[in-house]
Amino acid sequence: MITLALSKGRIFDETLPLLAAAGIRPLDNSDTSRKLILRTSRRDLRLLIVRASDVPTYVQYGAAELGVAGKDVLLEHGGAGLYQPLDLGIAACRMVVAVPEGFDYAAAVRQGARLRVATKYTQTAREHFAAKGVHVDLIKLYGSMELAPLVGLADAIVDLVSTGHTLSANRLHAVEEIRPISARLIVNQAALKMKRDAIQPLLEELSKAAVIHA
């Protein structure tokens, strides 16, 4: 049995067509089922539904051989014990620095001010500002980052944007792109060695599907 961990929502929705191209479909309706383990049309493959940020943990410890996780999540996790052989090109967005309209970010950075930055992505943010030599106080949040600058909790946020609608609805705008983000297939390193015969063909099929869908 091979187990693939992934999160509900956009990752699940955008992984389904890739699985379908490889001839794999879930047997349970994931919209209505509350099951966290879904059987698939392939008897030796099952899906685990976990929190997006928990996917690397399940795969790292071998509770799932495979997973689909955003690069944002992988950067925060650190990637220990994981191969990241395939950029699936799905759930694409950008990790950016955003500030309120009227906040002079360039001047703040130029003057060597100490920025207060609220984010869920403290690892990535720390590295980004360290590389620029900008002093930051990082404030860890778990969601709704857009709120922080509006109520004086932070000067800036580091967050994911796709359309930018959420930013503009809250009178924020992106001032810096940190990196593009997309979802990767991840593989437990030990499992790839032990179960290569089962895993390798699946990797190849998903790789073909990802290219076609790109």
- Out of 7, 15, 124, 170, which residue is the one contacting ligand ATP (CB under 6 A)? 7
The minimum distance between CB 130 and ligand ATP, in angstroms, equals 23
- Out of 5, 24, 38, 73, which residue is the one contacting ligand ATP (CB under 6 A)? 73
Which C-beta is closer to ligand ATP: that of 75 or that of 108? 75
Which C-beta is closer to ligand ATP: that of 65 or that of 72? 72
The minimum distance between CB 149 and ligand ATP, in angstroms, equals 17
Judged by CB under 6 A, does residue 91 bind ligand ATP?
Answer: yes
The Cα angle at residue 11 between residues 68 and 204, in degrees rounded to 5:
45
Q: Are 169 and 68 in contact (CB under 8 A)?
A: no
Number of residues that bind ligand ATP (CB under 6 A): 17
Judged by CB under 6 A, does residue 14 bind ligand ATP?
Answer: no
Where on the chain is the footprint of ligand ATP (CB under 6 A)? Answer: 7, 9-11, 51-53, 70, 72-73, 91, 93, 160-162, 181, 183
